[in-house]
Amino acid sequence: MRILNIDRITMKYGGLFALKDVWFEVKNEEIVSLIGPNGAGKTTLFNIVSGIIRPNSGRIIFGQDGRDIVGLKPDRITHLGIARTFQNIRLFPNLTSLDNVKIGCHCRTKTNFLGAILRTPSSVEEEQYITQVGMKYLSFVGLQDAKDKLASNLSYGDQRRLEIARALATEPILLLLDEPCAGMNPAETKGLMRLIERIREQEITILLIEHDMKVVMGISDRVVVLDYGIKIAEGKPEEIQKDKRVIEAYLGKDIDYA
Ligand code: ATP
């Protein structure tokens, strides 16, 4: 079943097309990677899907009821079931790991501002519940022992995991991961690949931007390739590795995918 339909999205900055008529679909519980050279338009597409920017034209059809989410605010899109991480990690550095994840949980809670200030019984109960849920996602990414550590004191790899935990705490249907392996060492990268597979096992669909071809070719069901804002190829990893246009534009000839 189709969960996301990127339908002829065009985004222009001045005279430059960051994206031009880009079209592809993502099916339920797939891992799809979006690859291409620097400036190809990958992050622009993530910004459009998550509601940060509005495209010049095109539709983003999401979910079972197939609604167009273009023009919706980011918090509404998160509520509908799309979560993301960022290329440049965006955590609250002076909050603990657990508090960072709890912020993700708050998009699914009912307590309003006044209830929280007055500490009504239902708000206290909800806060306890959020703590439990926050711990569940911290454990899921392997950071349970770092719950009281400030986010700024975590290693780079752990900060990336924490960002993923916070995104998962919004209980997404679709998770957008923007270069999750950037800056990781080989052992951390391997661990992250396994984590992404475990996320998919939770019936969450994943759209991934990644430059590490071992990761892309190792975990993707399908790969979409952008170049100068245009989709130049789409297919299974083994098809993309052999695609002449992709080799010329991006991959080169001598890549070791193993
Ligand atoms: P990278 O792999 O380096 O992250 P990318 O594929 O994510 O690259 P984008 O960041 O989406 O590429 O950029 C696509 C194009 O749009 C680039 O030419 C970029 O300079 C341009 N662009 C992106 N954001 C803006 C903006 N706010 N104003 C003007 N041009 C922009």
Could you give phi then psi for residue 135, rounded to 5 degrees? -65, -35
The reported pLDDT for the residue numbered 121 is: 66
> Same domain for 14 and 35?
yes
pLDDT at 251: 79
Instruction: Among 43, 88, 177, say which to mutate for ligand 1: greatest number of ligand atoms within 8 Å of CB.
Output: 43
For residue 31, the model assigns a pLDDT of: 97
Tell whether the model's pLDDT for residue 249 goes beyond 60. Answer: yes
> Are residues 217 and 149 part of one domain?
no
Tell me, yes or no, whether 164 and 196 share the same domain.
no
Q: How many CA atoms lie within 13 A of 42 on its CB side?
A: 26
Shared domain for 102 and 158, answered yes or no, is: yes
> Do 77 and 176 fall within a single domain?
yes
**What does DSSP say about strands 31-35 and 222-227: parallel, antiparallel, or unpaired?**
parallel
Q: At which of 136, 169, 202 does a domain end?
A: 169
34 CA to middle of ligand 1, Å?
14
**Which ligand 1 atom is nearest residue 47's CA?**
11
Ligand 1 centre distance from Cα of residue 16 (Å): 10
If asked whether residues 92 and 162 sit together in one domain, one would say: yes
**d(C-alpha 163, C-alpha 27), whole Å:** 24
Identify each DSSP E strand in 54-193 by its residue range. 57-62, 67-68, 82-84, 174-178
CATH code of the domain covering residue 106: 3.40.50.300
Same domain, 111 and 133: yes
Please give the average per-residue pLDDT across 192-205, as a whole number: 96
For 84-103, what is each residue's pLDDT tens digit? 999 888 899 999 999 999 98
pLDDT-based confidence at residue 227 (cuts at 50, 70, 90): very high
Q: Taking all residues of the chain, what is their mean pLDDT, rounded to a whole number?
A: 91
Choosing from 169, 192, 223, the residue where a domain stops is: 169
Decide if pLDDT at 224 tops 90.
Answer: yes
The reply to whether 8 and 76 lie within a common domain is yes
Q: pLDDT above 70 covers what percent of the chain? A: 91
The predicted model gives 16-34 an average pLDDT of: 96
Spatial contact of 112 and 120, defined as CB atoms under 8 Å apart: no
The widest CA-to-CA distance across the chain, in whole angstroms, is 64
- Model confidence band, residue 257 (pLDDT cutoffs 50, 70, 90): low
Last residue of a domain, one of 120, 146, 169: 169
In the predicted structure, residue 115 carries a pLDDT above the cut 60: no
| Separation of CA 44 and ligand 1 centre (Å) | 6
CB distance 36 to ligand 1 below 6 Å: yes
User: Which run of H or of E encompasses 222?
Assistant: strand 222-227
pTM score of the predicted model: 0.91
144 and 118 assigned to the same domain: yes
Shortest-distance Cα residue to atom 24 of ligand 1: 44
How many domains in the chain?
2
Q: What is the pLDDT of residues 132-164, one digit of tens each?
A: 999 999 999 999 999 999 999 999 899 999 999
What is the rounded average pLDDT of the residues 15-30?
A: 96
The answer, yes or no, to whether any atom of ligand 1 lies below 6 A from the CB of 120, is no
Do 164 and 94 share a domain, yes or no? Answer: yes
Same domain, 153 and 217: no
- Same domain flag for 74 and 190: yes
185 Cα–ligand 1 center, Å: 26
Is the CB of residue 19 below 6 angstroms from any atom belonging to ligand 1?
Answer: no
Structural domain that includes position 134: 88-169
